[in-house]
Structure 1
Amino acid sequence: MKTKVLMIFSVVYLVVQGLILTFLPQEVHAYFNISVNGIGILISQTLGAALLAFALLNWMTRSNILGGIYGKPLMMANFLFFFASGMSYLKAADGYFIWVMAGLSMAFGFSFGYVAFTHPFKNS
């Protein structure tokens, strides 16, 4: 598996989500009909900042050898984040947008799981 491509696609996905949650939290809350208050906005912006930090981490390690024991902590963190967020999206799925987000998150989760548990030099 080409891990560089996987890392770049995950960076794009995380940056889009991070920027939206950091700079447009009121609009996101209004789109999903969630009552907006100070703490909800703060939590959304903090999550957006964490997503941007995770994107930066993925971007800076995109050219490293990943898989097997190389980059295992990073692959496991990505696997956990994407799989858990995908399961959360599936639980809350009530519209087309959430189904798409669930599908993308689960695809990334399974991809990072595959990379984490396979040898990086094995030719399939």
Structure 2
Amino acid sequence: MHGMTKSDMKTKILMILSVAYLSTQGVLFTFLPQEVNAHFGQSTAGVGLLISQTLGAALLAFALLNWMTRSNILGGIYGKPLMMANFLFFFASGMSYLKAADSPVVWVMAAISMAFGFSFGYVAFTHPFKTS
């Protein structure tokens, strides 16, 4: 790609992968909340359903934000707020999944979330132009 460094390509791939993960969950929680909640033994009506749909909307919004910024220089002072938000979301959700892990699906979600958390943390706390 014209004018892109190796670091830019790695962060672009990270952003695209996070969009895929977030939007998949967002679509499931927004449009199939009863099925998702039933799969995990949660309420399929009332406030439980509302919380699932609201979570889905937030996940889709986060996916859209990541998609729209995928080509920006990330890390450094300009991309740091986005990287920190992603780091916090993925690390905290990964820890929550680990705490609640009782099925292979939840273990996989924990592993994916923690991998994203560590990746976004690395980008947030390193210089975007540093070469090794």
Q: TM-score by structure 1 length? A: 0.97
Fraction of identical pairs, as percent: 81
Structure 1 stretches lacking a partner, 5+ long:
none
Deviation track 1:78-115 (CA, whole Å, cap 9, x = no partner) reads: 00000000000000001110000000000000000000
1:120 is aligned, of 108, 111, 128, to 128
Q: Match for residue 87 of structure 1?
A: 95
Deviation track 1:23-65 (CA, whole Å, cap 9, x = no partner) reads: 0000011111113221111110000000000000000000000
Q: Match for residue 57 of structure 2?
A: 49
Q: Which runs of 4+ in 1 moved over 4 A?
A: none
For residues 32 and 98 of structure 2, what CA distance do their matches in structure 1 show?
23
Q: Match for residue 110 of structure 1?
A: 118
For residues 52 and 33 of structure 1, what CA distance do their matches in structure 2 show?
23
Q: CA RMSD in A?
A: 0.8
For residues 70 and 44 of structure 2, what CA distance do their matches in structure 1 show?
37
Q: Match for residue 42 of structure 2?
A: 34
2:32 is aligned, of 16, 19, 24, to 24
Q: Match for residue 84 of structure 2?
A: 76
Structure 2 stretches lacking a partner, 5+ long:
1-6
- The count of aligned residue pairs is 124
